[in-house]
Amino acid sequence: MSSIGSLIIFIVVFVLLFWVIRQMKGNEQFDERQLLGRYKACRSGFFAFMIVIVLDAVLKLFGMTFYEDPLGELAAIFVAVLVFAGQAIRYDAFIALNTTFRYQLIVFIIVCLSQLVNAISQITSGTMIRDGRLTLSCLSILCVITFAAIIIMMLIHQRMTQEEA
């Protein structure tokens, strides 16, 4: 019954996100500075991804992993997204296509809250650690940390921009 409930929650969140994204139609034009910032953000995210993948491979090579097998690779994706978003926010580039600050913030808050509920349920059920190793259930916490950090960076950048204006 728990998996059916999780599936229903996932579908509801997906439909809500799809609806919010559909409402974000915009015809924004980006200048060269923003496009260059986007390039730098992509490059930084790629290198962060590669560094974490190599670190994961080294840990596996020496048998020092403290997590289940695909968790390292999936964590690398979250690190890459976090680095990309941080650089995109820093360079005032666009994080997503045709979106405004408000809609991006709404989507990130929805994702963060939905994963927070999932993480709390997994913590209370005790599925985060099995046989002394982190399980894939930790992905919810990684998602919460990633999106919460992005939200904080966006709010700080927005406040700094408003103070400069």
145 has pLDDT over 80: yes
Buried b / exposed e along 88-104 (16+ C-beta atoms within 10 A): bbebebbbeeebeeebb
Determine the pLDDT at residue 25.
Answer: 55
Mean pLDDT of 125-148: 91
Determine the pLDDT at residue 161.
Answer: 87
Determine the pLDDT at residue 73.
Answer: 92
Cβ contact 137:128 at 8 Å: yes
Summarize pLDDT for 26-72 with one digit per residue, the tens. Answer: 555 667 888 898 899 999 999 999 999 999 999 999 999 999 888 89
Closest by CA to 17, choosing from 159, 147, 152, is 147
Determine the pLDDT at residue 84.
Answer: 94
Determine the pLDDT at residue 21.
Answer: 65
Q: How many CB atoms lie within 10 A of CB 121?
A: 16
Determine the pLDDT at residue 70.
Answer: 86
Determine the pLDDT at residue 97.
Answer: 58
Q: What is the pTM of this model?
A: 0.78
Determine the pLDDT at residue 159.
Answer: 92
Determine the pLDDT at residue 24.
Answer: 61
Summarize pLDDT for 81-124 with one digit per residue, the tens. Answer: 999 999 999 888 876 655 677 888 888 899 899 999 999 998 99
Closest by CA to 25, choosing from 94, 95, 99, is 99
**pLDDT-derived band at 80, boundaries 50, 70, 90:** very high
Sign of the alpha-carbon torsion through 26, 31, 33, 35: positive
What separation, in Å, do the N-terminal and C-terminal C-alpha atoms of the chain show?
53
Pairwise CA distance, residues 15 & 91, whole Å: 31
Q: Is 114 left (phi over 0), alpha (psi -120 to 50) or beta?
A: alpha
Helix, strand, or coil (residue 129): strand
> Residue ranges of the domains in the chain?
33-164
